[in-house]
């Protein structure tokens, strides 16, 4: 798992409120960093796997990158979107304007947009999009 993936996973998985809203998979909150998620995963769950885009964000004296990533949230299509909306709003709360602990990088910007609707046949879906500006830092020796 990349340092960015690990940082997003840790921020989400360590939150007691979000833990209470998600199913459990393998003894942990159902947050998947692979796509598609395991076929035996029960709803509700999250998927955050890979960047939507990444671009250089360098200055004269620093190296950085602008990264965009989606966190897709899914819950049972049971006639009410209240559960999925609560999950997606908690994801947004945890990631918007919060510095992530990413090995080798400092977070300059952390913004979220959404959640936007991404319903499927058997599940309600919401997508929270993250925009990060990350600047490389020298490794501590």
pLDDT of 21 higher than 80: yes
Residue 18: strand, helix, or coil: helix
**The predicted structure's pLDDT at residue 141:** 39
**130 or 60: whose pLDDT is higher?**
130
- DSSP-assigned states of every residue in 68-118: EEEEEEEEE-SS--HHHHHHHHHHHHHHTT-----TTEEEEEEEEEEEEE-
Instruction: Give the tokens for residue 24.
Output: 């459990």
pLDDT at 43: 95
- Specify the CATH class of 3-136 in words: alpha beta
Report the chain's mean pLDDT, rounded to a whole number.
Answer: 91
- Band (pLDDT 50/70/90 cuts) for residue 140 is very low
pLDDT tens digit sequence for 59-90: 888 899 999 999 999 999 988 899 999 999 99
Full-model pTM: 0.88
CA distance 61 to 73: 38
pLDDT of 79? 87
Query: What does the domain layout of the chain look like in residue ranges?
Result: 3-136
- What pLDDT, in 10s, does the model give residues 109-122? 999 999 999 988 88
């Amino acid at each position: 798992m990349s340092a960015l993936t690990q940082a997003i996973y840790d921020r989400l998985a360590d939150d007691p409120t979000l833990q209470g809203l998600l199913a459990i998979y393998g003894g942990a909150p159902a947050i998947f960093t692979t796509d598609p998620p395991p076929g035996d995963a029960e709803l509700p769950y999250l998927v955050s796997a890979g960047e939507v885009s990444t671009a250089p964000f360098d200055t004269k004296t620093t190296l950085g990158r602008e990264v965009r990533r989606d966190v897709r949230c899914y819950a049972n299509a049971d006639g009410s979107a209240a559960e999925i909306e609560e999950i997606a709003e908690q994801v947004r709360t945890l990631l918007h304007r919060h510095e992530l602990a990413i090995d080798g990088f400092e977070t300059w910007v952390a913004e979220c947009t959404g959640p936007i609707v991404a319903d499927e046949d058997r599940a309600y879906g919401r997508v929270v999009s993250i925009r990060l500006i990350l600047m490389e830092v020298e490794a501590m020796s």
